[in-house]
A and B are shown apart, each in its own frame.
Chain A
Amino acid sequence: MVKITYIDSGGTARTVEGEVGSTVMETAIKNSVPEIEAECGGACACSTCHVYVEEGWKEKTGEPSPMEEDMLDFAFEVKPNSRLSCQIKVSEDLEGLVVRTPERQA
């Protein structure tokens, strides 16, 4: 299991355990982390699992694919560290990952 911390728009941090091979979105939904909706269920077909990857983690989470970039157009307040959490696979490398959730998804 890999520890992931989600910091919500109000500043509250929640650290939960994610299974290797699952996604950062699935881990959030399983643990009732707020501010992640995942309307399409992880098909990279909406933009309601938008997160900001915390400073220093971008290299490990990688860059969004062109399809993910297209979907990010539908998100609000997109920043250079914006990702769709359904497209970030949990791996051992991500132990301690910190992401922030936006105030609104849709």
Chain B
Amino acid sequence: MAETIKTDVLIIGAGPIGLFAVFELGLLDMKAHLVDILDKIGGQCAELYPEKPIYDIPGIPYVTGQGLVEALLAQIKPFGPAFHLGEMVERIERIGEPMFRITTDRGKFFEAKVVVIAAGGGSFQPKKPPIPGIEPYEGRSVFYAVRRMEDFRGKDILIVGGGDSAVDWTLNLAPIAKRLTLLHRRDAFRAAPDSVNKMHALVEEGKIDLLLGQVTALQGSGGALSGALIKRADGSSVTLACETMLPFFGLTMKLGPVAQWGIELREGELIPVDTASFETNEPGIFAVGDINWYPGKIKLILCGFHEAALMAQKAYHYVFPDKKLVFQYTTSSTSLQKKLGVS
């Protein structure tokens, strides 16, 4: 069994609010680890709108999504947060009062006194194409990610999409596939030009097939795929024999396993919290940012920052039950300034 990582606080989600939570916790001497399903830090700011402007961060008239993430990373550097990227928290079990055991989908274990859910709109997960009857094939012959290339050796593969994932996996899987077809709705690709050129070269050499159109139905039985019905750009239809399909349609936000953690939810998607501490109905589990709900809630980054500050005050009592918390300002407190490395 993998080693258990012990920490004061486990933060689920490395978006702007998860990052600022590190700061507020750090000022009060609490160490944090962060888990995020994306392979990069910054949540929606980094994934959805890295170059888009944000105009409503107090004191900062203008900053891009990525700019804000970088500024937050600089701000929390003194507290040395540990990041676990490309991982999703699957389970949270209460093993003490309070003490939680947290398990990720990569089989990593954490023990933390406090859990902070800063999961925004939920976890980014692959978009599933609305092909009728696709469900029985998912995980058996239709895959939204490649975890092990070897699983695709000798297979008749259909890759769908026009971005980097679709084109890169076309290049990587072409040498080991029995046959590979790349299907895209139009003759222009978003993927890196160099990869697109390589892909076109493989088509010219007759090593792979390129087809323009969209999948409308699947054929097969018992989860085993035998073919895909494709509507070509010119309106004609064709059936393509294939045993594996890899659709790459980008990411969408789904609540994901949060619903299975035993926390009370509002309308199945938001976590109610009390506005004094942003704690959920489970003592020791907090929710901050877009994922929480309380009367008057609005989904703004600046509101999430405030929530993180109040959360840290209450979290302190779980992490240091015997210590008394004295409120201090970074402007004047030598002890806080020492923690920030400025004194």
A54 interface residue, CB < 8 Å from B?
no
17 contacts between A and B (CB under 8 A): A39-B121, A40-B44, A43-B49, A45-B49, A45-B52, A46-B252, A70-B163, A73-B184, A73-B185, A73-B186, A73-B249, A74-B127, A74-B249, A76-B130, A78-B185, A103-B130, A106-B127
Residues of A within 8 A of B (CB): 39-40, 43, 45-48, 66, 69-70, 73-74, 76-78, 103-104, 106
Given A48-B252, A69-B188, CB of A40 within 8 Å of CB of B49: yes
The answer to whether B214 touches A77 (Cβ under 8 A) is: yes
Residues of B within 8 A of A (CB): 44, 48-49, 52, 121, 127, 129-130, 161-163, 184-186, 188, 190, 214, 249-250, 252-253
B185 contacts across to A, CB distance below 8 A: 73, 78
Docked Cα-Cα span, A77 to B215, in Å, equals 9
The answer to whether A78 touches B253 (Cβ under 8 A) is: no
The answer to whether A43 touches B190 (Cβ under 8 A) is: no
The answer to whether A76 touches B129 (Cβ under 8 A) is: yes
* Nearest-neighbor residue (CB-CB) of A66 within chain B: B188
Given A39-B253, A69-B186, A76-B249, CB of A104 within 8 Å of CB of B49: no
B253 contacts across to A, CB distance below 8 A: 39
A35 to chain B, nearest CB (A): 12
The answer to whether A77 touches B130 (Cβ under 8 A) is: yes
A43 contacts across to B, CB distance below 8 A: 48-49, 52
* Nearest-neighbor residue (CB-CB) of A102 within chain B: B130
B186 contacts across to A, CB distance below 8 A: 69, 73
10 A-B pairs besides A73-B162, A73-B163, A78-B214 with CB distance below 8 A are A39-B48, A40-B49, A45-B49, A45-B52, A46-B48, A70-B190, A76-B130, A76-B249, A103-B130, A106-B127
Top 8 nearest A-B pairs by Cβ distance?
Answer: A74-B250, A106-B252, A43-B49, A45-B48, A104-B130, A70-B190, A40-B48, A43-B52
Docked Cα-Cα span, A77 to B129, in Å, equals 9
B186 to chain A, nearest CB (A): 7
* Nearest-neighbor residue (CB-CB) of B52 within chain A: A43
